[in-house]
Structure 1
């Protein structure tokens, strides 16, 4: 948190600063990673969308001002240069606070965002930001009996946010007096309205009803228990806030990386969650981490709370000591250690969207790929058509209704309602829904071949073979076999010649695919978490593998792997 800015004469200086920051980022005047650009673009796009009567949210500049003005009246509690001085928000900090708290629902004026996921490098004022949010929700949000928790897995970590918040109260007697705050040794409370702010280790006690929870350094959590308990406990609050403010970590199998994965998909537009505000300060995949501009790009508070000579020393350390590279990249560049590389560039993928539908291909040749999961998991069938040097993908997906209706599967519920996912009755996928669809497709299109993975499919495929005239081909999904079709798949979509209809379920799976490779540089698709489904893309690759064998014209043949 930063430097004094002159010329803040606007009636809404903080929302003005937030909008200016967003525009400057989108226009390239401020160097940031793609996730920050997407967060800024989302905000600006939503402002345009809010002009429509049908859009359910509006940008409330007064609400944005309140949280920012509140934070600016708090004081720093650490540092020779900063301690005792009022906080002055940097533009990126104004953006986070103003956007997270400034968007409201048109219907009732309540806040739009209920969750914040902010990934910020070390020494950029994460704890101070969290303390300001916690104190605002505790005292100034107008919530009687507000319960605010600084949650962590250890007492030390829980105090990383609560400690500065408590010190801010001690150093700001007018604030304490105005709101009637009692500063205890291990909690803050307001007697007049029974509000409290306290650290909590693990889950809060029975009966807790959080109005706000701050989860600092979520990457240190082994399970989502604390997060989930806080979130489910907020049901009785009209506009709660659960804020994760963290650096990157090393455990890509943990709950923080899962939340990050959701945040990335929301920013990319492959997953819809209007209640999650997300921003991630890091470097892009094609950035050279050894170069100084990458370090500048990932650290929004460089030159304010992060001194350039300190960061230069960390960069030099990472360059000279190989064993320190991962941890330094993790903490100062927000690069998750051991995180896989996303295979599909979603900007390129989204550019391949077309308005054609499956109905436009009546009677035309096609290849079908089927990836049958276990009967409790996602099953995919993909149809692939070719016109000249372009290919067209259409997906059909199946999942048991009991799985669809689980509370954590809101995305599946939405896709079912929109017609992108077939929820078969019961607890296990009824494959006859797939077979009925396949037989209907056989009557509409000239199916040349069906490619399938034999692991879960043999009984169904035996029944299908008895009822269709086209060949059904077993596909070995070993790296040695699937590597070449993967390369062709990539060449096609990168060149804009692999078209799709924008199916959000297939697009979500495209964003989930992680590139894996063997020692011999054979490639195969993978995923970082079990819930990150990729079955539709695997089915598409299988269909493409058969189309490649029977192509009358040469394929794209782009050399993207040399």
Structure 2
């Protein structure tokens, strides 16, 4: 009697595990693709080493717990003030490494390995005895007046923005409407992203073009009038040269009878 054997067809679709953001940052730091200080490099080396040798000590990395923390930061938390108020909190790779390390590593009891953390980043201070240098290693820096966002100053993404009340001034690259290529802007306080040539009172772009829509108050350019003689008949007046700072020259002519 023939026996028929049936086998269940295997599904060709395999669920992909979420990207290991904690390990990815550690690999980039150790490989030198991301510049970091000695303590950060050591932390990254420890993370990669513990992934291999940690199970011998009962340690393991809980990817699901780390991803849960990432989702909480990026899907629940929001920025609360400034021009980015209401925007979702997006973790920088260095921040993802910190969050992943704190919430992902578990001990033999299944509880978190780390319960407290000391975090320090974003600033360098050097002193050679004569000159003190200060560097902020950060993608953004914001200084806001005590009364909130009504007035303040910020450095962010390569540009400097100063605002007070309904007006703002922005200098630098990387801001404004797409295609405007702005490097200098003065106009209504609509934030850096909404700054554009169409709503500016004054702007300058990276191509050298500029516009000013306000009113100027300037001194008068004067040119001395010289006479070639003091006689009453046949006097000739020489007016010029004319100084106009490159503007249109207006020459008024007259005759003497």
Structures share a fold, TM > 0.5? no
Query: Is the helix fraction higher in 1 or 2?
Result: 1
Range class of TM-score, shorter chain: 0.3 to 0.5
